[in-house]
Amino acid sequence: MKFLEQPPHFLFFTGKGGVGKTSIACATAIELAAQGRRVLLVSTDPASNVGQVFGIEIGNRVTPIPAVPNLAALEIDPQAAAQAYRDRIVGPVRGLLPDDVVRGIEEQLSGACTTEIAAFDEFTALLVDSSLTADYEHIIFDTAPTGHTIRLLQLPGAWSGFLEEGKGDASCLGPLAGLEKQRSQYKAAVDALADPQRTRLVLVARAQQATLREVARTHEELAAIGLTRQYLVINGVLPAEEAAQDALAKAIFDREQVALAAIPPVLASLPCDILALKPFNLVGLDALRSLFTDVAADAAQDSAAPYLDAPSLATLVDGIAADGHGLVMLMGKGGVGKTTIAAAIAVELAHRGLPVHLTTSDPAAHLSETLDGSLENLTVSRIDPHAETERYREQVLKTKGAQLDAQGRALLEEDLRSPCTEEIAVFQAFSRIIREAGKKFVVMDTAPTGHTLLLLDATGAYHREIARQMGNKGMHFTTPMMQLQDPKQTKVLITTLAETTPVLEAANLQADLRRAGIAPWAWVINNSVAAARPHSPLLRRRACNELIEIEAVASRHAIRYAVVPMLKEEPIGVERLLELANQGQTTQGV
């Protein structure tokens, strides 16, 4: 493994949920410990399952791993860290400021930025206080801070003063209110991150074109702020020998090889390791010790064929179509196939003779090109996130920014580069289309997160302002936020994969939405191997593992759900999307 050659003191693993960074971080820790190195494994992932991987309870304390000499682990609970962080900031003003102002501050501190910064706050000491890590030769972090968080922490300035003067009601400055006292410590931590002699950053990806493009953006963002020494690990690549087993395995193998051949140039220059897909869950020491080997353990051992009895996407469409019109929103983390599922639902509704407007903010416009004018009753629009974000930034700088001094304007400009800004800008563009849902179906892809919706509602950016203006005139009105909260007008479908981390992230998204007063209508489990009835021994073993997650969704998380099988061919074009929507309507033997 290239990323394991002459490892520095700190190793950070970063990547989207479900790519396997926790497994790789754990396997790295075991490998280094086996070489006699003293290792501390630290997780800051909200969906951390490090304790589950090792089969012991770890928690927020350094815990030796009994079965692995020289290895200890620590799980920083980002949610608990974020709550303690919020209490530190909000506590002093509670009772002094009006309740609605306090609620606004709390909401501003409820999102992903606060959680990430609070977690960074927790593990910063490990980067800069040598006395805490003197017993360890290597500190391995499962999940690195994003470039946006690091860039915020690099900014100069009195955050607290900026906020106290009432200027800082934007999306991501709020979480920084309590950081000023420790700014020198954060500077030292960022310096440690940027020092290749001390730190190695490992980007973890899958062999998928969309995922690799996302990782390329992460690479460039981190390199731009000084974290240039990066390694790439492409995880879970189907072995060539499996491609001969059945048509599905061959299709997966061919797709992955095409993605690898078209890897973005900025990634092609990085030191790269490719890890083969394993047939087993990476839980337990034996499994983790096999991760870096070329032999897929027990791959030849066939599994008992599981039976999957699950509703199809067409079953959900039946329930959607019964209303005759309405808003259908697809939500979920990146890489789970929201765009494809949105298009399949839109095509199936249109195929049934119902008028449909499919709108997406997906930068890859191939669906628009494929569908435009190709099916009666269906119109397609694509919102350009970059153009909408620029328009929104200019509007905010022209209004709010005009009242700020140079320092305040610089802070506002930085905040407007946050992920929240793009979500708000795209949501405003979507809002112009939402009104059509009173007469037809509007299927919306790439929806804003629960936190962004809460932020829009709590800060009065749109919803409260409209309510104030219209309420004063005694007029009946419906804002987009009210429409999203009305189950008669809006159906939210959460899209996920039948894997541990994506399901956990989807459950967290559902909790966020419920806090915003939005009750998800259904879950869609996409790209299921179990629903595809593979013959490949490796894929059959993977299918058995999926059943656990599908059962968790069916019994614990979703009111209603559907399972969409992995297809041999990419679901692009009307015919393939119709095929996708109607797959798996009966009990299937895998």
Q: Running along the chain, 590 residues long, what does each successive block of 10 average in pLDDT? A: 93 84 92 96 74 80 91 84 79 79 71 70 79 89 69 49 44 53 72 89 91 88 84 94 88 94 95 91 81 62 68 95 94 84 94 93 58 76 86 85 79 72 80 87 80 56 49 55 85 93 87 87 95 89 91 96 91 85 56
pLDDT at 393: 86
The CATH number assigned to the domain with range 308-385+432-589 reads 3.40.50.300
Supply the pLDDT for residue 78.
Answer: 72
For residue 161, what pLDDT is reported?
A: 43
Positive or negative, the CA dihedral 373, 376, 381, 382 is: negative
Q: Which residues contact 133 (CB under 8 A, 6 or more apart)?
A: 9, 40, 126, 139
Question: Is residue 15 within 8 Å of 203, Cβ to Cβ?
Answer: yes
DSSP state of 246: -
Residue 494 and residue 310: Cα distance in Å, rounded?
Answer: 16
553 CB contacts (<8 Å, ≥6 apart)?
496, 498, 503, 523, 525, 561
Sign of CA pseudo-dihedral 159, 163, 165, 170: positive
28, 143, 340, 501: the catalytic one is 501
CB-side exposure of 464: number of CA atoms within 13 Å?
Answer: 11
The CATH code of domain 2-289 reads 3.40.50.300
What is residue 574's predicted lDDT score, i.e. its pLDDT? Answer: 85
Positive or negative: CA dihedral 176, 178, 180, 184: negative
Q: Considering 17, 20, 168, 335, which one is annotated as catalytic?
A: 20
**Which candidate in 14, 16, 17, 21 is catalytic?**
21
Q: Is 372 a catalytic residue?
A: no
Please tell me which residue in 14, 15, 16, 23 is annotated as part of the active site: 23
Q: Hey, what amino acid is at 510?
A: Q
Say what the pLDDT of residue 210 is: 79
Q: Is 43 a catalytic residue?
A: no
Strand 588-589 and strand 307-308: pairing? antiparallel
The single residue of 14, 15, 16, 22 carrying the catalytic annotation is 22
- Catalytic annotation present for 23: yes
Q: Which tokens go with 83?
A: 């709550």
Is 14 assigned a catalytic role?
Answer: no
Query: Of 45, 77, 121, 246, which one is the catalytic site residue?
Result: 45
pLDDT of residue 361: 78
Q: Break the chain into its structural domains and give their ranges.
A: 2-289, 308-385+432-589
Contact call for residues 456 and 149 (beta carbons, < 8 A) = no
Cα distance between residue 469 and residue 476, in whole Å: 11
3 state DSSP class of 381:
strand
Whether the domain at 2-289 and the domain at 308-385+432-589 fall into the same CATH topology = yes
Catalytic residue check, 568: no
Confirm whether 332 is a catalytic residue.
no
How high is the pLDDT of residue 98?
80
- The Cα–Cα gap between 380 and 442 comes to 10
Active site (annotated) includes residue 21 = yes
* Residue/partner pairs of 228-231 with CB below 8 Å, 24 or more apart: 228/194, 228/196, 229/196, 229/199, 229/200, 229/201, 230/200, 230/201, 230/202, 230/203, 230/270, 231/2, 231/3, 231/200, 231/201, 231/202, 231/203, 231/270, 231/271, 231/272, 231/273
Catalytic residue among 17, 18, 168, 337: 18
